[in-house]
Amino acid sequence: MPRAGLTIDVVVREAARIIDDRGAEGLSLSAVAESLGVRVPSLYKHVDGMPALRRGAMLLAKTGLAAALSDAAIGRSRDQALTAISIAYRKWALEHPGLYPLSVSAPVNGDEDDIAASSTLVETVFRVLAGYGLEGDDAVDATRFLRAALHGYVALETSGGFAMPVDLERSFLRLIASVEAALDSWTKS
């Protein structure tokens, strides 16, 4: 039996690919094993079963989305930064329709990697809002508003929740504009 050259990275990345292809429900050890040309039990030499596979994919989702956002924010501030990260957020989600939902799962208590990845993600959004001069509870409220708008839109869009035949791009740009207007006058509301 020649070696297949698997590593934990290869296995988890294949799992992520399958999730994006067939959705989170479509992930199974059989599917991963078949894709990698290997028998199911062999996977256990690299990952600790199904839960670990899901956790790995979830971490890929959080770090991948966070990287896309911070990349988009480079060299911009206020409305420019907000527009850039919003568009990057939606773009990443559309490119990773299966992985995306994992990126919003609450960090698991005690899982340091998960907590770190989740923090990085929220911090990126939080920092952009710092440019609006928001502090303390105002900043928290605003971050929640922005995250809600972005997550709600892409969650509905990727799950097929927007049925009307009206341009999805345009609706999203108007959403961004509305959020920006709200943030510009945030402390007054």
Partner DNA sequence: TCCATGTGGCTAATGTAGTTAGCCAATGGG
Partner DNA sequence: CCCATTGGCTAACTACATTAGCCACATGGA
Residues in the interface with its own copies (CB under 8 A) total: 39
How far, rounded to the nearest angstrom, does the alpha carbon of residue 150 sit from its chain's CA centroid? Answer: 11
CB count within 10 Å of CB 1 equals 6
Q: Where are the beta strands (DSSP E) in 14-125?
A: none
Q: Residue 74 binds which entry of DNA, its own copies, none, with Cβ cut-offs from 5 to 8 Å by kind?
A: none
Site residues (CB under 8 A) for its own copies, limited to 97-126: 104-107, 118, 122
Contact 145, 182 (CB under 8 A): yes
Cα distances from 131 to residues 74, 120, 125, 144, 168, in angstroms, run 13, 17, 11, 16, 28
Question: 2 or 160, CB closer to DNA?
Answer: 2
Token pair recorded at residue 170 = 């345009």
Residue 156 contacts DNA per CB under 7 A: no
Q: Residue 76 binds which entry of DNA, its own copies, none, with Cβ cut-offs from 5 to 8 Å by kind?
A: none
Residue 163 contacts its own copies per CB under 8 A: yes
Residue 69 contacts its own copies per CB under 8 A: no
Cα distances from 173 to residues 83, 86, 90, 149, 162, in angstroms, run 8, 9, 11, 12, 15
Question: Residue 163 Cβ, how far from DNA at the closest point, in Å?
Answer: 27
Site residues (CB under 7 A) for DNA, limited to 17-76: 27-30, 38-42, 44-46, 49-51
Q: What is the largest CA-CA distance in the chain?
A: 69
Distance CA 126, CA 147 (A): 10
Per CB under 8 A, residues contacting its own copies are 104-107, 118, 122, 137, 140-141, 144-145, 147-153, 155-156, 159-164, 166-167, 170-171, 174-175, 177-179, 181-182, 185, 189
Per CB under 7 A, residues contacting DNA are 1-6, 27-30, 38-42, 44-46, 49-51
